[in-house]
Structure 1
Amino acid sequence: MDSLPNFWKMGGSFVAFLYTYTTEFETQLSKKEQELTDSKNIQVQLEEELNITKQRLLLQEKEIHSQTEQIQALSSTRKAYATELAELKSQYEKQQLMCSNGNNNGEVVTLKQEESSQNLLRVRNDELEESKRELSGLKMENSGLKSSVDQHSKENAILQQEVLNLTERQNKITKDLRLKQKTELDVLRHSHQQEIQTLVSNFSSAQALLQAKVISLEADLKDMEDRFAKHPRPEDLKIIKCLQDKIAEKDQVIKHLLELKEYDMEDDVPFNSETHRSQSFSCNAGSLTPTLKVKVLPHFTKSTSILF
């Protein structure tokens, strides 16, 4: 019976140990999950920065492409101007040749044409110089944009490497955490199995002791019921009757003594108490209590004395 409190104490201690261990494990798990969440947030932030950088690079590439098209258009215009200028020069030379070979009437026309050609040539030269300046500015801007694109490309490569490193680190942390969780769960499962086996063994022992105690108590109860249920023996009834008779005789003697005492008090006769006691309880003839005689008690067996 003493093993039952120990069994319940062991069960309570095991539950407390299980609760404490589970709480610590959940705390560690929440910390690891928080670390994973932080790393995921960092990864998301880096990916957002990478996307922003990519969008910026795309915009710059579009600008570079647009400026390249403008440069190509200006180059085409410049070539057209150069071709037209060459044609104008050729015409001018032809006109000069015609002027040198023509008459006086043709000199006026030639001079006008020459003046017109020179004016057109100056305009074309001015436009060509403006195109050259614009082309130079566009080339410088294109060079700056290319440098910016190269810088952003380097930053993009660095961000991609950081994202890759962070992803590898996150995968490693996740793998280590899962391995650690598996190891801890295996250890905890093994410990729980041992505790359960110990508790089952103690419970089986306590149950066996309790069953043995119950069987013993049932046997004692049955024995007591049998003893109370069986009838008394004849010799026991005889002894009981004899004792009841003796008790009745003693009651009669006591009653008679009380009556004598009342009678003596009523007579108020002075005499010595010792003489009165000797006369009252004398066993000789003429005694006041001739009925008080020594009676031989019946002989009881050993079994009777044990019962009563």
Structure 2
Amino acid sequence: MSDMSAMPSFGSHPDPAAGNAYEALNEADDPRWAFGTGFTDPLAGVDTTLPSGVDGADLAAYCLMLGDDALIMSHRLQEWCTHAPELEEEVALANIALDLLGQARLLLARAGTADGTGRDEDALAFLRDPGEFRNARLAEVRNGDFGHAMARLLVFATWRLALLDRLAASRDPVLAAVAAKGVKELAYHRDYAAGWVVRLGDGTAHSRERVYEGLSSVWPLVPELFAAHPVEARLARAGVAADPADLRAEFDAVIDQVLAAATLTRPPLPSEGSALGRGGAHTEALTVLLEELQSVARAHPGARW
């Protein structure tokens, strides 16, 4: 089995320069983004004025895309509680899920301010139907075994880290602040998953088989991550969003480095993909996931606990 101390470095990200939005989001000096059940506005005190020339509906739709990615992936990771192979991995996966949940809360709240509806993160998380969600389908497919979980997390975190790294320079100060904080979290998520993929891939014959099957299962969903929805394309031209196609080279370089260390090869990849999830086209797995996620909120509308 490979020595984990010899794992290659996958790059680092500089500390973001503090700005008004960044400082406001961090004024509680809380190193984690696990807001619990405090029902306070996560953007209270933050300037949510739209950047000049940016359509509020487009910005809201984009924030929903990013927020839904985080929310749904967080839920899938939370499902590993009491099911992970070791207690240490239970804690690690729960913490990663909480990081993503915190990102989701801020992004959904930003969506509600950008489109002028005033919908809060609870309304957007719990009161939308599956066709209204805009997450990439990679986040929603059902959990498999631990090898599948690590393969999916590696793909998701590598892609999202490259995305948030670019969004730290977004013209929208709220989006830039969320991204600047998020790159620190995603760097850990990516390296955690990479370490496990190497351990499983370069481990026993059985562990190698399981992680490769997991990678093969999620690999057909990879092209969708780099296909631009029209909203993404418009906001990228406006300096607010990132063009997904621009992330591919960095993603490929990191994945190739991890797979080489794991002595694994890439599964066959479809030649192209489309932004299906961004347009509201999802698998049946999302419907089942939302039935569980939204059950209490829909059964007891307006409740607080």
Same fold (TM over 0.5): no
Structure richer in helix, relative to its length: 1
Larger Rg, first or second structure (1 or 2): 1
Query: Shorter chain as normaliser: what TM range?
Result: under 0.3
